[in-house]
Structure 1
C-alpha cells in the first residue's frame, strides 16, 4: 500500500521510464525479439546478456497448431514437454534435469511475471493446468538456466513467462474455431483501447465445448476464461490492475492398453482390437461417476466428465516508476485456485503385488477365481451375463483400474515481488545494481478419494464397468472391487492440508564496459511448511471402514473395503528450510552481430507435497527426518555463442548440470551435459525457425535402488528437435511445424525402449482482407503413434503394457476478424 501511495504522489518528480522494461510484450517475431525481461535484472539485448533465452509471439503461437498450453513449450529449444492432451499432467523439464514423477519440478511457469503456482509439480495439480493460451496472449518469454536461479524461487532449470496484452494498440479480434474431424467448437475474443492519453485497458477470453481429440462419448472440453487489465500511465511510470476468471474442464489421456512385441531393446507397439491407442480413451459415456466417500466421509458420486476441472479467481497489480534514477517495480497477485481431477488409471502391468495383471485377458482373470461369472454393470447391457469372455469386444480384455479421484480444495496463493534497480556511470562503464524481496504463500489442500474398479476395454467411449461373481458370491458391486484403493491395500486414501511460506531477498550487480559485461547475482530463500496430513498413510490409521454405499441394507464385499479419511490421528508438518543461490556470468560482444558468454549457477528447488506420506517427515513432530529432503540443489554451467545478422540468427550453448532429488519413494542424484541449438533464417518469401538439444544424462547415485546407478533417466532421449519452415506470398502463408525425439527408455532400469518419432503439424493461412484471416490447421498430420510414457520396465509375458501417446490427427478451421 505504501508503494501504491508513492506511485500516486511521485509522478511530477519521477524520471521517464520505459514500460517495456517490466512486463510488456516481446517484439513482434522471434527473429526480432531481442529484448528479454524475464529472469533478468533489466531488459537487455540478447547479445549483451549471458543467458539462454527464447521468445514466441502471438502470430507464431497461432500457427503452431497446439491444443494445450504445454504443447507450446515443445517449440522452445532445450525444453522437454511431454503433453498428452487436455490442460495439465504435462511432464516438463529443461536440459536433462529429471522428470521423476511428472510435472515441472525444476521449472517455474509464470503469468505476467508471477508464478502460477509456487511449486510446478504438485500432485494432480501441475502449474500449466491453471493456464490457458488465448488471444489475450501477446507472447511468451523463456530463460533456461542462468539467472533463473536468482531472479525467481524454485526455478533453477528456467522460467517460462506468458505475457498478456495491455491495450497498447487500439482494436481487437474475434476468432471462431471448429474441429473438422473431431468435436470442438471455440470462440476467442480480445479488445484493447485507450480511454485517454494516459489510461488504457484490455479484455479478452474464450469459451469452448466439445468431445475433444479422443473418443469419450461426452463433452469433456467445456468452459473458458476471461481476463481484464487496466493501465494508468504517468510521467515516469505506470500502475496496472488486472483480474482473471477461469473455469474450464478438459480430458487428459490416461494410460491405455497397448500391444507390444519384439524385444525390450527393439520393441514394436500396436493397438489392440477395437481400441485404437491414438484415438480412444478409457473415459466412457457409460462410466458416469465415481461412487466414493468425500473428504468429509459423506457418500458422493463424482462425475467422470469433470476430468481435469480447473478454477481460478485472481486479482493483482503491477506498479513501475522512476525516482532519482531508481527504477522501482512491484508485482502482486492473489489467486483463489481449486478444482477436481478424475480419470481411470491402470497399475503397472509388471507389478508383482497383484494376483494378476492390471490389464489381462478375461479368461486369465476367471482362472484366478474358479467358477467366475462376468456381467455388465453399466451401459445399455447392464445386468447381461457375458457368455464368452474370451471374445469380449474382440480382444477379450479386462482392466483392473483405480479411479484417480482428487479433490483440489485449495491451491490459493498470494505473491509479491518488489525490486529496485539503478545504473551508475563508473570507470568508463555502467554498473547496474538490482535488489529485491520476494514473498509468497501457497496452500496445498488436496484429498485423495480413489476407488477400485473392473472395466472392459473398448474404444469409442463405449467402455463399461464389469461385475464379477464366484458362484453365488458377488466379488464386485456395480463394477467396484472396493470403494477405496483396494488395489493398493487400502492406502492412498489421504488428505494434505499444508501451507508454505516463502521469503527471498535477492540482488545482482552487472558491470558493462566496452564489449565486456560481467555479472553476479545472489538469492537467499527461506521458508516454512505448516499443516497436517490425514488418512490411511498416517501411521496408526485403519485402511477401510464398512459402509452401506448403495443403502440396500446389505453389506457386500466391496462395502467392507470403503476408503475413508480418518481425522482422529494426523501427522504434523512443521519444518523450516533455507538455501542460498548464486550465479556468475561473463559476456563478450566481439562484434555487432556476434557475442560469447559463459555462466556458472547454483540454485535449488524446495520440495512440497512430493515428500508427504513418504517417510521424509516425522509424523509426531512434523520435522524432517532428513534435513536434506527440504530442497534439491542444482548446479549448472553453460557457455555459448550468439550470432545475429539481418536475415539470420544462431545461438549455440553447451551445458552441464548436477541435480539432487527427493521425491515419492525416490532419493537420487543425476548428472547431465549436452548442447543446445536455436536458429532462424529468412530469404525472401521463405523463413525457417528451429532448434535441437542433444543431452547425455545419467543417474549417479540412488539410495533406494543402486541397480539404476549409471543408467539413463527414464524418458530422456539423446536428441529432441523442432523445425518450422514457412512460405509467405502476399495473401497466403503455408508452413509446417515439426517436433520430435529419438528413442528413450520407459523406466529407469533401462530395459524397455520407447521408439523415437517426428510429429508434423501443418497450416495454411489466407488473408482476403487486412481484417479477415482464414486458417486451416492439421495437428499430427500423418497420424503418427508417438509414445510419451510406457508404464512398464519390460515386456510382460502377455505382451500388454499401458501407455500415454500424443494426440491423433486433428484438423481445425479458424475464421478471425480483426477490428
Structure 2
C-alpha cells in the first residue's frame, strides 16, 4: 500500500525550534560535552558563501537572506554522488533523476515545471557558468562537469539573488570552487575499485610556489563496466585541472584550466511489469531492472544509412560523453575604494550522444511478424514487386539460428547526436558603500555561445527483450526485408543546424543596513538575447530503389537547402529581500523574485517555418525562511509560492511525431535542512521538501491535446521527499573511524503531464565507513542502494497514456560498492 505523506513546516514552528535550540545552548554553556559540540558547529557558523552575493565578496551562510546549501570536500564524498547531478540530492527542493548514468539527467527544481533535461539548473565553476544556456537538447550543464579532488567545496542556491546575477538563473545554481593551494601545501593520491570492475585513480598537488604565488594540478583517470553489465566500459576517461593564483595587495587573481575526455554510457527505459492500471510493479521476465542493459557486444556498433550512398557510424560506448576544454580567470581587487570582481570563462569542445531510446513495449516474435505482414501488404509498391506476403521468418543477425515464435522482442532507436559547442562568458561587478549603510553594486554579464548540431534520430533496431540482446533479421515470403541486421526503421529526424547566441545583461543592486538587526537588499537586471540559426531542410526519401527494402523507406534526409531564423528577446528581472537578526546566529528572511528563462536554440528550431514565436518564460517566487545554528541543532527552513507563465515544451513520440505544449503552473511548498548533534561526535543531518504544484493555463498546440491537464500534478516531481544522514566519529589512538549512512524517501510522481504514468514512491539506503590513520592514510568503503531497491525515475516519454501488463520505465541502479585508499603527502 502506498502512503502519501504531507509535510508543511510553518515559520512559527521553525522559529520555536530554533529559539529553543539557542536557549538549550545557553543552558549547556558550562558543560564540557556541550562545548565540544559547540566546536563542531563553529565552522558552520563562520562559513562564508559567495554564490548569490551581489557585492562580490562573501557573506556568512547564516546571514545570507536566501536558501543556500553548502558541502565541503568531505561532505561531497560522504554523499556518495553517482554523478555531478546526483549531488543535488543534498539540496532541498531539487530532485535529480540520475538513472541514466553519469550524464543526461533530468533535474527538477521544486515548483519549476520542467519535465525533462535541466532548464532551471546552472552549474558554475568559480562563479562562472559552464555554458550560459542551462539546457540544450542532449546537453545540460551537469553533463559538462566532473567531480574530483580538485574541488574545495560546493555552494548551491535555489532561487534567491541569482535571478539578477551571472546568467540570470531563476532556479538552482550549483557553484563549485576549485582549490588554489592557498590553504597550505597538499598532495594526494587515491586509488578506487568497485562494482563493475571499477578502476579509478585520482591525484592532486597544490601549494605555495613562491611569495604570493600558488598553484595546483590534479585530476583522474577511470574505467568502469558499471552496475548494468553492457559487456564494454560504461565509463572511460580522464580529467586534468590546474590553477595559478597570485595574491594582490587588496585582492587576487586565479587562472584555471580544465580538460576532460570522458565517455559515459546512457541508459533509457527498459521493460518492467505493471498491474491493470499501468502502475509498474517489478521485473520483466528475464530482465533484471537493477542490473539489466540493452547494450552488449552485438548492439555496440551500427552503421546508419543517412541518405543514398551516405552513412554514419555509431559506437554506443561513446554514450553521452564529452571532450571539453575550459579556461577561466577569476579576478578580485579593491580599486579606488571600489570592490571590483571579474569572472571570465571560455569553454570549447565536443558533446556526443550515441544511445538507445526505447519506444513500444515488448511483444512476441510471432506478433511482430503478423504486424509486419499486415503493414507490408498495405505498401502498394512492395505488393506490386513481390505480391502479397503470407508468412515470415526471423533469424538472429549473428547467424546463430531461428528466433522462436514466443521470444519476446522490442524495438529501440539507435540515436546519434553530435554537438560542437563553444561559449565565452564574462561577469564584471563594481561595489562600494557610496552613502552610509548603503552598498551599491552594478555590473554586466556578457555571453557569446554557439552549437553546431548533427542529429540522426530514429533508426529503429529489432532485438530480443533481454539483457545484452541479440539483433534480429526478418524477411517475408514475398521477398520483403523488414529488418536488416536488426535495422527495421529509418532515421525519422535529421538535423544539420548551426546556432549562435548573444546575451547582454546589466544589473544594479543595493544593500541597505537599516540597523544592526535589519538589512534590506534589492536588485534589477535588464537582459537582451539574440539567437541566429541556420537550419538545413530535410525531405523524405527511400535510401535505395528496391521497393522490397521496407526498413529504409521514408528516411529523413538532409537535402542541401537551408533556412535562417533569428529571434530577439528582452526581459527584466528583479529581486527584493530582507533579513532580520533575532540573535547572533538566528535570522529570518523574506524574498520576492521575478525572473525569466529565455528561449534557447531548440525552441527556435521548433518554431522555424511557423508563425509561432518561442515565448520568454515568466517566473515569480515568494519565499519566507529562517536560519539557526547552535551547538545542538542547526536548522534552515522556508516556505514558498511560485507562479510560472509562458512555458513551451515538446514531446517526440515513438512514431516520430512531435507534440508541442504551452502551459504555466502554480506551486506552494516548504524546504528544510539541518543537523542535530545530541552527543559528541554524533550527528543526524536531515533535509527535504514538500510541494503542491499544479499546471495552469494549459494549451496543447497539437490538436490531440486539450485543456484537461490544468490542475494535474507537475510531472516527475514528488510531493514529498526527505533524507536522513546519521554519522558517528570514533576517535582512536591511531586516528579515527567515521560511520555514515543516508536514508532517502522519494514520494509518488507522474512521468507524464497527463498524470497517467504513475511512478511509485521508493526509498534507498546508502552508507560508508572511513578510517583515518594518522594524517597520511585514508581507507574508505561506501555503497549506494544497499537494499537493492526497485525504484523508477522515468516512464515512457515516447507514448501518450500508459499500457497494462508491461510498461517501459527507467529504474535506478542496483547495489554498488566501492573501496578506496588515499595517501596524503
Partner residue of 1:40 out of 48, 53, 60: 53
| 1:470-485 superposed matches below 5 A | 470-471=476-477, 472-485=479-492
Match of 1:662 in 2: 648
Match of 2:455 in 1: 448
Partner residue of 1:567 out of 552, 560, 563: 560
Distance in 1 of aligned mates of 2:327 and 2:307: 29
Partner residue of 1:640 out of 603, 625, 635: 625
Distance in 2 of aligned mates of 1:211 and 1:375: 31
State the shift of 1:250 in Å.
0.9
Aligned residues of 1:547 and 1:562 also touching (Cα < 8 A): no
State the shift of 1:597 in Å.
0.8
Distance in 2 of aligned mates of 1:129 and 1:282: 22
Deviation digits for residues 73-132 of structure 1 (CA, Å, limit 9, x no counterpart): 1111111111114222211132221122x2211222211111112122210111111100
Match of 2:75 in 1: 60
Distance in 1 of aligned mates of 2:199 and 2:281: 33
- SS of the residue corresponding to residue 117 of structure 2 reads coil
Match of 1:367 in 2: 370
Aligned residues of 1:766 and 1:775 also touching (Cα < 8 A): yes
Provide structure 2 residue ranges, at least 5 long, that are not aligned to the other structure. Answer: 1-39, 374-389, 651-659, 701-705
Is structure 2 residue 571 aligned with structure 1 residue 579? yes
Is structure 2 residue 704 aligned with structure 1 residue 703? no
Distance in 1 of aligned mates of 2:743 and 2:308: 48
Match of 1:806 in 2: 812
Aligned residues of 2:757 and 2:801 also touching (Cα < 8 A): yes
- SS of the residue corresponding to residue 367 of structure 1 reads helix
**CA 576–531 in structure 1, closer or farther in 2 if over 3 Å, else same:** same
State the shift of 1:794 in Å.
4.6
- SS of the residue corresponding to residue 764 of structure 1 reads strand
Is structure 2 residue 316 aligned with structure 1 residue 316? no
- SS of the residue corresponding to residue 706 of structure 1 reads coil
Match of 1:15 in 2: none
Aligned residues of 2:595 and 2:620 also touching (Cα < 8 A): yes
Aligned residues of 1:183 and 1:213 also touching (Cα < 8 A): no
RMSD value, Cα:
2.2
State the shift of 1:415 in Å.
0.8
Deviation digits for residues 228-271 of structure 1 (CA, Å, limit 9, x no counterpart): 1101112111122111111000112211111111435xx35211
Provide structure 1 residue ranges, at least 5 long, that are not aligned to the other structure. Answer: 1-26, 350-357, 486-491, 537-541, 620-624
State the shift of 1:618 in Å.
4.0
Aligned residues of 1:547 and 1:555 also touching (Cα < 8 A): no
State the shift of 1:293 in Å.
4.8
Aligned residues of 2:93 and 2:158 also touching (Cα < 8 A): yes
Distance in 1 of aligned mates of 2:453 and 2:43: 40
Distance in 2 of aligned mates of 1:681 and 1:559: 63
Distance in 2 of aligned mates of 1:403 and 1:559: 14
Partner residue of 1:342 out of 336, 350, 354: 354
Match of 1:402 in 2: 413
Match of 1:724 in 2: 725
**CA 296–191 in structure 1, closer or farther in 2 if over 3 Å, else same:** farther
State the shift of 1:404 in Å.
1.6
Match of 1:518 in 2: 520
- SS of the residue corresponding to residue 138 of structure 2 reads coil
Aligned residues of 2:104 and 2:266 also touching (Cα < 8 A): yes
Distance in 1 of aligned mates of 2:41 and 2:229: 38
Aligned residues of 1:605 and 1:632 also touching (Cα < 8 A): yes
State the shift of 1:574 in Å.
0.9
Aligned residues of 2:511 and 2:521 also touching (Cα < 8 A): yes
Of 526-535 and 781-790, deviating more is 526-535
**CA 239–590 in structure 1, closer or farther in 2 if over 3 Å, else same:** same
**CA 699–439 in structure 1, closer or farther in 2 if over 3 Å, else same:** same
Is structure 2 residue 483 aligned with structure 1 residue 464? no
Is structure 2 residue 393 aligned with structure 1 residue 384? no
State the shift of 1:375 in Å.
3.3
Is structure 2 residue 304 aligned with structure 1 residue 283? no
**CA 295–62 in structure 1, closer or farther in 2 if over 3 Å, else same:** farther
Distance in 1 of aligned mates of 2:139 and 2:752: 23
Deviation digits for residues 792-815 of structure 1 (CA, Å, limit 9, x no counterpart): 665425x11111111110011111
State the shift of 1:517 in Å.
0.2
Partner residue of 1:556 out of 528, 544, 549: 549
Match of 1:418 in 2: 428
TM-score, normalising length from structure 1? 0.87
Distance in 1 of aligned mates of 2:807 and 2:451: 33
**CA 722–457 in structure 1, closer or farther in 2 if over 3 Å, else same:** farther
| 1:148-167 superposed matches below 5 A | 148-167=162-181
Match of 1:329 in 2: 341
Distance in 1 of aligned mates of 2:209 and 2:71: 29
**CA 800–571 in structure 1, closer or farther in 2 if over 3 Å, else same:** farther
Aligned residues of 1:761 and 1:779 also touching (Cα < 8 A): yes
- SS of the residue corresponding to residue 446 of structure 2 reads strand
Match of 1:12 in 2: none
Distance in 2 of aligned mates of 1:412 and 1:76: 29
Aligned residues of 1:39 and 1:152 also touching (Cα < 8 A): no
Aligned residues of 1:691 and 1:721 also touching (Cα < 8 A): yes
- SS of the residue corresponding to residue 317 of structure 2 reads helix
Deviation digits for residues 715-762 of structure 1 (CA, Å, limit 9, x no counterpart): 121101122110000111111022221111222222332111111111
Distance in 1 of aligned mates of 2:93 and 2:605: 33
Equivalent residue pairs, number:
743
Is structure 2 residue 545 aligned with structure 1 residue 529? no
Aligned residues of 1:87 and 1:128 also touching (Cα < 8 A): no
State the shift of 1:401 in Å.
2.1
Partner residue of 2:541 out of 541, 544, 564: 544
Aligned residues of 1:482 and 1:561 also touching (Cα < 8 A): no
Deviation digits for residues 399-430 of structure 1 (CA, Å, limit 9, x no counterpart): 1221121112x22101111111112562xxx2
TM-score, normalising length from structure 2? 0.87
Aligned residues of 2:126 and 2:330 also touching (Cα < 8 A): no
State the shift of 1:580 in Å.
0.2
